[in-house]
């Protein structure tokens, strides 16, 4: 019989961090992961990022239900099915989120998760590499498992983007993960020595070298609950069903799509929904699977007047050369995710902190690596950060092998449309600045002909894509909040010995990419489990002095 102090379901961003910290503290840990090894160049080479997220070997292959406000499109929803989880298939962009995000969490019932509380965990988890591009060393970590670097930024388009932002009147920031998120500057990535630095590389592999940490391959079917307490996890492997037992607690870190699914399969969730699938209700929690949020984005693509973009490698010989450089020296374009410049701006006066994010890429291409648009080009991915739309994850059936039903309800409010049009118009203004004059030939997408609200809405409806940041489906809140799923200690309300610790507990989506906040959640949850806490920080983040009256 397999037994450990703690059983962690999911070897993803949060789960790997939890396994590392609990085993470091001398506890025995079993990690259950359905996916397999992350060995091989397609995962480990940063420049190959479009491949693993489109391979059934590494990805659960989920899709949204038809989205009524996006013309009935089903949007792909990649989630990592491999050690490292989505940190092994993502774009490797590292963003902590804004201080205001975490203060909002605390105000909405996640006591002890304000910015002052989470900043020490971001510092603990990082080893930040100052690359000579400036930065904010005081705000950063120096000896954590997660290496954070910046790309070489040697393509002139990267500095053109930042200069254009400054010319348009926005601030420049040397470190959006430091004191000042707002502005244009270098982007950071979870890459180290030319290799993807996933949660598996940073946390899980070192943890597995300890005698008290074990990885078990299998599909988690449900949490086994006896007399109101979680006592183990039922898994399927090699055609048979086993139970992995715990003497202390079960911790779900299976993603914002699979953690609520597992809770519901285990009898924890909206009672009527569970009963409709013949599942016995253990704890009637209306909030399980609700509050689903994501970031949507569009790509504004410009044709380049100079042949300086990554398109020069977009042929068999070019890709072979990039691959060889990376394989033998961990250098060249393959050693970067190519997202090397970024920006966070505010959409209007009266918005206190940024609500629009930019990823800049010196190539015009789709996220799935398809169809480099007409030759040399570059693009900005842009989208609003705090959409008011909310969706839900529910069960399609009581069969653990079935995908969950995922409905984001994207663009379901008027505010979404207003914000998205604003994103497009502000981006066009940036590309029209002097700094881009030598590089812009014409606008590929949406295309200069599309100007009216209706025309832009049509483009958004057809072309908006998920940025792959689903979260919020097991919301953290006060124990007396009927829609909260976990309390601020990450304990599932209504069941003993069970916690959830991953992006599903976010009360509201954070600014930017979610890998950093997910790892932080695992780091902080492990301290809650161990009954300890890092002292709160008292650093004051920067807020634009004229935010009430000026957009920039």
Q: Is 469 a catalytic residue?
A: yes
Q: Are 22 and 212 in contact (CB under 8 A)?
A: no
Query: Do β-strands 29-33 and 3-9 pair in parallel, antiparallel, or remain unpaired?
Result: parallel
Tokens for 295?
């970031």
CB neighbourhood size of 317 (10 A): 8
Tell me whether the omega of the peptide bond preceding residue 306 falls within 30 degrees of 0, making it cis: no
How far, in Å, CA of 411 to CA of 141, rounded? 37
Q: Is 49 exposed, middle or buried (0-12, 13-18, 19+ CB in 10 A)?
A: buried
CA–CA separation, 519 and 149 (whole Å): 16
Which of 245, 469, 528, 544 is labelled catalytic? Answer: 469
Query: Is 90 annotated among the ligand-binding residues?
Result: yes
CB atoms within 10 A of CB 539: 15
Q: List CB contacts of 265: < 8 A, sequence separation 6 or more.
A: 221, 222, 279, 395, 398, 400
Listed residue (259, 204, 253) closest to 501, CA to CA: 253
User: In this structure, are strands 240-252 and 3-9 parallel, antiparallel, or unpaired?
Assistant: parallel
b (16+ CB within 10 A) / e for 117-152: bbbbbbbbbbbbbeeeeebbeebbbeebbbbbbbbe
User: Does the annotation place 91 within a ligand binding site?
Assistant: yes
Closest to 148 measured CA to CA, from 190, 179, 118, 183: 190
User: What is the spatial distance between Cα 258 and Cα 458, in angstroms, rounded to a whole number?
Assistant: 33
Do the annotations mark residue 511 as ligand-binding? no
Annotated binding site for FAD: 82, 90-93
Give the catalytic positions in this structure: 469
């Amino acid at each position: 019989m397999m037994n450990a102090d703690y059983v962690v379901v999911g070897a993803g961003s949060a789960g790997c961090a939890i396994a590392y910290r609990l085993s470091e503290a001398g506890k025995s840990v079993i990690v259950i992961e359905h996916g397999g090894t992350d060995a091989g160049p397609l995962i480990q080479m940063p420049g190959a990022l479009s491949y693993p997220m489109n391979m059934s070997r590494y990805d659960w292959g989920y899709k949204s239900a038809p989205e009524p406000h996006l013309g009935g499109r089903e949007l792909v929803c990649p989630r990592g099915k491999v050690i490292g989880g989505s940190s092994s298939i993502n774009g490797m962009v590292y963003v902590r989120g804004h201080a205001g995000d975490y203060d909002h969490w605390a105000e909405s019932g996640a006591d002890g998760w304000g910015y002052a509380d989470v900043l020490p965990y971001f510092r603990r988890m990082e080893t930040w590499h100052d690359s000579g591009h400036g930065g904010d060393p005081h705000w950063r970590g120096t000896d954590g498992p997660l290496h954070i670097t910046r790309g070489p930024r040697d393509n002139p388009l990267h500095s053109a983007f930042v200069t254009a932002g400054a010319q348009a009147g926005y601030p420049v920031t040397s470190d959006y993960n430091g004191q000042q998120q707002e502005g244009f500057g270098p982007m950071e990535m979870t890459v180290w020595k030319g290799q993807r630095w996933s949660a598996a590389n940073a946390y899980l592999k070192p943890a597995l070298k300890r005698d008290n940490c074990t990885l078990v391959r299998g599909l988690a079917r449900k949490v086994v609950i006896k007399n109101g307490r979680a006592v183990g996890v039922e898994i399927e492997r090699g055609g048979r069903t086993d139970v992995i037992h715990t003497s202390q607690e079960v911790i779900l870190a299976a993603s914002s799509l699979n953690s609520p699914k597992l809770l519901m399969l285990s009898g924890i969730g909206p009672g009527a929904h569970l009963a409709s699938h013949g599942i016995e209700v253990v704890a009637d929690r209306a909030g399980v699977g609700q509050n689903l949020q994501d970031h949507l984005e569009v790509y504004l693509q410009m044709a380049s007047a100079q042949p300086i973009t990554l398109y020069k490698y977009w042929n068999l010989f070019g890709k072979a050369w990039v691959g060889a450089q990376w394989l033998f020296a961990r250098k060249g374009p393959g050693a970067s995710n190519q997202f090397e410049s970024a920006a966070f701006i505010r959409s209007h006066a009266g918005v206190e902190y940024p609500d629009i994010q930019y990823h800049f890429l010196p190539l015009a291409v789709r996220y799935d690596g398809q169809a480099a648009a007409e030759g040399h080009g570059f693009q900005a991915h842009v989208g609003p950060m705090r959409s008011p739309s909310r969706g839900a994850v529910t069960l399609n059936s009581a069969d653990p092998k079935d995908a969950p039903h995922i409905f984001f309800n994207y663009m379901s409010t008027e505010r979404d449309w207003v914000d998205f049009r604003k994103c497009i118009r502000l981006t066009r203004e940036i590309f029209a600045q002097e700094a881009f004059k030598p590089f812009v030939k014409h606008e590929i997408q949406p295309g200069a002909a599309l100007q009216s609200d209706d025309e832009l809405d049509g483009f958004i409806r057809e072309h908006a894509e998920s940025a792959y940041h689903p979260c919020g489906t097991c919301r953290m809140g006060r124990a007396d909040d009927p829609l909260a799923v976990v309390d601020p200690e990450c304990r599932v309300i209504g069941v003993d010995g069970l916690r959830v610790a991953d992006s599903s507990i976010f009360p509201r989506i954070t600014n930017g990419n979610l890998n950093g906040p997910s790892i932080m959640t695992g780091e902080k949850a492990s301290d809650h489990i161990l009954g300890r806490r890092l002292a709160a920080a008292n650093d004051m983040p920067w807020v634009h002095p004229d935010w009430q009256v000026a957009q920039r």
